[in-house]
């Protein structure tokens, strides 16, 4: 999600218009984060499955 936010900032005003797909990447990243959970949650789950402690 951080990369998508930076992409929109980098492109400025055109990043939030239909002339550039940057806004679509940001919307998809936010929707995925809400639906699937944050990356840290997945890191913790995988670490727990293999018997390791999650990185801090």
The residues spanned by each domain of the chain are: 2-49
Give per-residue pLDDT as tens, 24-54. Answer: 999 999 999 889 888 888 888 888 889 887 6
Give the 3-state secondary structure of 2-46: HHHHHHHHHHHHHHHCCCCCHHHHHHHHHHHHHHHCCHHHHHHHH
Query: Is-above-0.85 flag for pTM?
Result: no
Q: Give the pLDDT score at 8.
A: 87
């Amino acid at each position: 999600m951080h990369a998508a936010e930076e992409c929109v900032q980098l492109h400025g005003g055109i990043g939030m218009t239909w002339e550039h797909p940057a806004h679509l990447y940001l919307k998809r990243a936010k929707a995925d984060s809400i639906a699937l959970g944050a990356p840290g949650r997945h890191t913790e789950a995988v670490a727990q499955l293999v018997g390791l402690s999650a990185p801090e």
